[in-house]
Amino acid sequence: MPETIWDRYGGYSFVARTVRDFYDSVLVSAALSPYFDGVNMEGLIEHQIQTVGAVMGGPYDLDVEALRRAHRHLRVQQAHFDELAVSDPWPQPYASALL
């Protein structure tokens, strides 16, 4: 079986570190941090590791419907996606699940 991107980059420990760094920067943003008031960040970080891990070929399934449910009530704006600036345009299926 070919090596996955998940394996090549070091799997869980690499992705966990990257996701934690990512949310550290989100939480210091005045525009983004209010979205995360009262959110269980440890639970969110674990789910995000699994979501990113699924896309990287790691041992998780991508649950687009769960992404949709988690974000529907937030009414996330395009400007907030742009501030995260991971890629433009947003890759499907994220954009349709989140906006």
Is residue 39 part of the contact set for ligand HEM (CB under 6 A)? yes
Is residue 81 part of the contact set for ligand HEM (CB under 6 A)? yes
Query: Which of 4, 18, 22, 35 contacts ligand HEM by CB under 6 A?
Result: 35
Task: Say if CB 26 and CB 84 are below 8 A apart.
Answer: yes
Whole-angstrom distance, CA of residue 95 vs CA of residue 99: 6
Whole-angstrom distance, CA of residue 55 vs CA of residue 36: 23
Q: Residue 51 CB: number of other CB atoms within 10 A?
A: 21
Query: Where does this chain touch ligand HEM (CB under 6 A) — which range of 4-12, 17-25, 71-79?
Result: 71-79
| Interface with ligand HEM: number of residues (CB under 6 A) | 20
Query: Where does this chain touch ligand HEM (CB under 6 A) — which range of 2-10, 15-23, 69-77?
Result: 69-77
Distances (CA, A) of 58 to 3, 9, 51, 67: 10, 11, 9, 18
Query: Which of 32, 54, 56, 64 contacts ligand HEM by CB under 6 A?
Result: 32
- Quote the tokens at residue 20: 């934690």
Q: Which residues bind ligand HEM (CB under 6 A)?
A: 32, 35-36, 39, 43-44, 47-48, 51, 66-67, 70-71, 74, 76, 80-81, 84, 94, 98
